[in-house]
């Protein structure tokens, strides 16, 4: 459990970090909380020549309100998010998701940005990002660009970030009126990762119909996705118990579910339907409250 030798860099500003990242390109990996990269390096499954430790970038640890949105620095830890009064009030989905991650030790070290950039197929955050239509800011020596969550997750542990780019900010909308959200997760008994995780944000019309609904699903496929078929079945409709069950049955449509020692593809498919429905029920309950 000892990594291959590597060169360690500890920039003190985002500008310095992007300069390093651009110089070193594909030879470098960025280190945030280290909960995914370091184990892979210790197993020698990842052997980057350079590691750029972002741990000193205090400028990326904030959570703040900006107009109708909330901006979160990529290095905010899961614990910061879980315990943020702002998020608990205005975007509870993020706080709820954070609470479901690992254990207190993991939440104290692990970061939102690190987890997103790693894009583990069973990571918790991608589901919430998709459900919130989050925007992700990539900064490089050449400038910055904003990437929509649905374009960010490209494949298994692959994102839209190019070599040299650093995920700096995550921007999410606050919870509108008559809205509710929820994250339901089936934890793997060993890893605590999501066998299936469903994040939902739903907005009701004054008449109590579903005006908007967004569902992010993680753990099921090679990458997190929006359960578009379920959303389509629900928009503009009255959320009866039966409709929820029927709609949620489409939670894994068009997805080739992962299969592993713990859960077959068929079972994951089933769990996706159950967890999407349960998350919907909870989000609706909150929207009505």
Residues of this chain that bind other proteins (CB under 8 A): 1-2, 4-5, 29, 36-37, 39-40, 43-48, 118-119, 121-122, 155-158, 186, 188-191, 193, 221-222, 254, 256, 258-265, 267, 270-271, 274
Smallest distance from the beta carbon of 97 to other proteins, in angstroms?
18
Smallest distance from the beta carbon of 251 to other proteins, in angstroms?
13
Q: How far apart are the first and last CA of the chain?
A: 50
Smallest distance from the beta carbon of 236 to other proteins, in angstroms?
27
- Give the Cα separation of 17 and 119 in Å (integer): 21
Smallest distance from the beta carbon of 131 to other proteins, in angstroms?
21
Strand ranges for 3-68 from DSSP E: 7-9, 28-31, 50-53, 63-66
Residue (158 or 205) nearer to other proteins, CB: 158
Residue (143 or 189) nearer to other proteins, CB: 189
Residue (69 or 270) nearer to other proteins, CB: 270
Identify the residue whose tokens are 């070193």: 24
When computed from its CA atoms, the radius of gyration of the chain, rounded to whole angstroms, is 19
DSSP, collapsed to helix, strand or coil, labels residue 63 as strand
Residue (122 or 130) nearer to other proteins, CB: 122
Residue (203 or 277) nearer to other proteins, CB: 277
- Give the Cα separation of 284 and 268 in Å (integer): 24
Which tokens is 173 given? 């909308």
């Amino acid at each position: 459990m000892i990594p291959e030798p590597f060169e360690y860099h500890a920039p003190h500003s985002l500008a310095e970090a992007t300069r390093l990242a651009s110089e070193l390109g594909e030879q470098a990996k960025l280190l945030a909380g280290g909960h995914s990269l370091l184990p892979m390096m210790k197993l020698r499954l990842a052997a980057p020549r350079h590691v750029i430790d972002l741990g000193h970038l205090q400028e990326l640890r904030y959570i703040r309100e900006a107009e109708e949105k909330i901006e979160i620095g990529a290095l905010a830890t899961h614990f910061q998010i879980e315990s943020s009064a702002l998020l608990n009030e205005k975007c509870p989905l993020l706080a709820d998701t954070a609470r479901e991650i690992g254990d207190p030790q993991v939440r104290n070290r692990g970061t939102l940005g690190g987890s997103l950039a790693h894009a583990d197929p069973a990571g918790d955050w991608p589901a919430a990002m998709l459900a919130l239509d989050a925007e992700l800011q990539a900064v490089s020596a050449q400038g910055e660009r904003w990437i929509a969550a649905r374009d960010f997750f490209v494949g298994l542990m692959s994102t839209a970030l190019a070599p040299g780019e650093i995920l700096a900010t995550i921007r999410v909308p606050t919870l509108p009126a008559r809205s509710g959200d929820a994250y339901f997760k089936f934890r793997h008994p060993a890893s605590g990762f999501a066998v299936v995780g469903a994040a939902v944000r739903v907005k009701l019309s004054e008449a109590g119909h579903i005006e908007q609904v967004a569902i992010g699903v993680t753990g099921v496929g090679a990458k997190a996705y929006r359960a578009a078929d379920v959303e389509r079945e629900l928009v503009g409709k009255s959320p009866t118990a039966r409709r929820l069950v029927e709609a949620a049955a489409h939670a894994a449509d068009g997805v080739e579910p992962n299969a592993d020692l713990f859960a077959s593809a068929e079972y994951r498919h089933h769990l996706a339907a159950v967890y999407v429905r349960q998350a919907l029920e909870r989000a609706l309950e909150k929207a009505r409250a």
